[in-house]
Structure 1
C-alpha cells in the first residue's frame, strides 16, 4: 500500500484503524515502514504511538468517555486520533504539548474536514482544562486493575483466581514495559563466545540471557537489519521460547517430530542440536511451512529439516509406521504470554477461545502419543499463562494415557519448576514472554 504522507502521527492513526479491524500490529507497522520514507526518528515515534495506544487502549477509552457525548456518532478514526494525542500527552515526556495539539488538529482537518478540526480542537482544549480522569480512583478492585493495566476484566479475574491478585497485578503491570531484543545463537555456524565478541564490536551491546543458555540480549541496534541475521548467525527468538527445546534430551542422531512448527524457531533450534538426525516439522498451513524452510535455509540447517503440510491430529495418516525419539508439541494457544510483544491479543480472545483451544491441544497430544518410542519424551509447551491450556491439558492427557508420566522439566539455568515439575515462566519473572513447558516420558 502506498501512502500520501510521511507524517508519523497520521500514519499511526491509519495503522491503528487497521489493527482495530483485526490486522496484526507488527505486520502493519512493518508494512508502513517499508512503504514510506520516514526518518529513523519518525519511524520510532510512529511505532511507539501505535504500540502505546494498543497497550493502553482500555485506559484511554475510559479517559475519553467523559468528553464525547455521543460516541456512536463519532467516527472510529477520530477516536484513534484522540487516543494517540492522549497517549503522547501522558506517556511521552519529550514531546511538547503544543506539538501534540497542533499536529492532531492538522490531521483532523486533512483526514476529515473543518468540522472535524473544530470537534477535535474542542475536546483537546477540554482535556487541557479539566485534566484526564485517574483510573486509581475506581473503587472496584477488579475494574481498577483492568483499566489501569488495560487488560479485559474477565482475563484479570481468571488470572487473579488462578495465581492470586498480587501476582496477577505484577504480571499485568509488567506488560507495558518494552520487550527486550533477544536472539538465539546459531551454534551450527558460530560459538556463543565468538558471537558475543562480534556483536560487541558492532555496537549491539550484547549480554548473555539469564533465562536460556543459547540466548543473548541486545541493548542497542536492530539485529534484524544486520549481517548477523542475513548470514544466519542468529535467530530472532524470545528467551522463554528457547526453553522447550532446551529442556529436550536431544542426541545428535535422533529422529524428532515438531508437531506444530511454524514459523520454525524451535524447529531450527532442534536441528542445530542434530548431526546425523533430522527433525520432521508439521504445520497445517503450507504457506507457513515456507517460513520454516526459509529459516532453515538461512541458518544452514535445511538438510536436517523435513516439512509436511499436515494437521498434527492426523499424524497417523502419514507416519503410520514411523516412531520418533522425541516429540515437541508447541501447541496453538491464546498467546496471553505474548501480550508485551503483541498487545492486541488481550482484546481479541474470550473464555470460549480458551476452552476451544484446550480441546485442540488435548487432541494433538492424544494423536501424537503413540508416535513416540517407549522411553522417549513428549515436550508440551504453550505461550500462554492460563491453567486451562497448560496444567489442565496435561492432567486430562495423563489421566487418559497412564503409560506416560510427567518428569521434571530441566533447563540449563536450572529454572524453578512447580510442585509437579512443570515450568511456568510469567511475563514479570524475567521480562520475557510467558511460557509453559511440561516434559512427559513414555514408560517402557
Structure 2
C-alpha cells in the first residue's frame, strides 16, 4: 500500500512541477449511461488524496439517468440514505486538460480496488470480468474504434446543422469517404489527436466515414482491457471539448440523421494464454468458432448495453453495415461479429454492434462474457454470412423488450453480476419511460 501511495504521490508531484499553472483537477468516473461525474479538486488536496487521505463520492452518482436524474431502483437512491462510497485514483491518468479556458487537469477515479467496490459501477464490472478471465489463464488484448459526427456549434431549433467546411465555408453535407475531408478538417482533427495523445491515448488510423461530417478514430491494441476502455471514455470527453474550441459540436450519438449512417463502437478482441499463444487460433481455430457461438448466443440478451437508448435502436438495420440479427462472418462488415483476415498470431473477433454512445466498460465486459461462455460451452456457431446470407438469430429492437431479455439470462447474471444486471435493467427501463413522458410536436400535427 505504501508503494502504491508513493507512486501516486510521485505522479501528482511531477504533474504539479510540469504544470505549475494548474490549480484544479477534475476527478472523474463514468456512470451507467456513459457520462462522466465527479468533483473538481484543488491540486494541493489531490496530493493529500494520493498520500492516502480518503476520497468519497455519493455511491448513487453511478445510477444517474441520461438526463442526470435519479430513479428509484430497489432500495437505492431514496431508501438508503444516499451513502458515500470510497473511490481511488487510477494511476497514470493524471493529465492536463487543454480545451478549457483556464489551465486544468483531470484524473480517473474508480471504486475498483477499494475495500467495498460498487457492484454496479461500470469500471468495477469490467474489472471483475477481466480478473476472472485472468484466473482462468485467459488474457484479452483489446482495441476500440469509435465513429462520431461533427456538427456546427449552433443548433437550429434544437436540430443539428452540418459542419461548415473551413475552406469554402459551405456545409459539409455530402456523404463521402474522400481523403480530402481529412485535409479540410485537419485543424480540428489534428487537435483532437494531439489532445488524445496528451491523455496517453494511442491514436492510430483516422478515417473520413460515409456520413456528412462523420469520422472514425482507431486506438492501438492493449493488453490491459481496463485501460483500453479508459481510452475510449476519455477520448469522447476530450473530443467534445476540442470540437467546441474550434467552433464545432462533436457527438457520438448513434443515429443523428435517419438518412445517413449511424455511429458505432467496434471492439477488436484477441485472447492469449500466459505464454502469449493465441487461444482462438488453436486446433484449426475451433476455439474461435466456440467463442463466436457464445457471443451470438448472449448477444440478444445484451442489447440494453449495446444499444443503450431509444436513438441507438434507430441505428440497427440502417443504411450501412448495421445488422438486425445476431450473425457472423469472415471479412464481412454486415456481420455483428466479424473475423478480420489475419495471421494466427493476431486472430481476433471484431464486435461491430454497439453504438458509439454505449458505455465502453460495459460493452467490453459483455463481449468478454460472451466469449467466455462460448469457450466453456464449446458449441458450434450458426453458419457464417459467407455461406448463408440469411444466417442469423433475432434480437430485440426495442428497449423494453431488450430489458426483459437481459434481466433473467443466467449466464449474464453470473458473468456480469446479478446485482449489476438488476440495477442496470431498471435504470434503462426507467430512462426509457422518462423519455416517453413528453408529447412531441409531431403528435399534435398528426392527432390534435
Per the TM superposition, whether the score is higher than 0.5 is no
TM range (shorter): under 0.3
More helix by share: 1
Per chain length, whose mean CA-contact separation is higher, i.e. which structure has more relative contact order (CA < 8 Å, sep 6+)? 2
- Of the two, which has the highest radius of gyration? 1
Q: TM-score with structure 2 length normalisation?
A: 0.27
More strand by share: 2
Q: TM-score with structure 1 length normalisation?
A: 0.27
